[in-house]
Amino acid sequence: MEDTKDNEMNFQKVKLDYLARYNEIFKRKSLKSTIRLTILLTLFLNNKMTFSNLSKVIGISKGSMKNNLDVLEEDGLIQSREVFTVKGPRLIYEITNEGKNVYLEISRLLSSGGK
């Protein structure tokens, strides 16, 4: 009987720790938007993309895309740089190490379901 109570208490602590970590991650302004989470996932999978390609893949207006990218960049999850090509300057966005770590943490939390 005592072991059952101890196991139940440990289980509850694990759940509370999971919820605390989940809340800590999603307190970030940059992660309170499904669009920004989708951008982060897209850059995680592709490492870097042009602004135009990101807009096409995500399917939002360029103005909305710029606003969302700015929020992610201000939080240090992505970075941008301008490159010059034969077709003219291109804005490239890439995920930072911090962005990769945050994405992996979200993925671990969601796949574990608090277990």
Q: Where do the structural domains in the chain lie, given as residue ranges?
A: 2-112
Distances (CA, A) of 13 to 10, 75, 106: 5, 30, 20
Beta-bridged to residue 114, according to DSSP, are none
User: Beta strand pairing status for 48-50 and 88-95?
Assistant: antiparallel
pLDDT of residue 14: 58
Kindly give the confidence (pLDDT) of every residue in the chain, 115 residues in length, as a single tens digit, with 9 standing for 90 and above. Answer: 556 655 555 556 556 777 777 778 778 889 889 999 999 999 999 999 999 999 999 999 999 999 999 999 999 999 999 999 898 899 999 999 999 999 998 888 888 765 5
Assigned token pair, 81: 């740089």
CATH no. of 2-112: 1.10.10.10
The pTM for the full model equals 0.79
The token pair at 92 is 């490239």
Tell me 75's DSSP state. Answer: T
Tell me the pLDDT tens digit for each residue of 4-16.
655 555 556 556 7
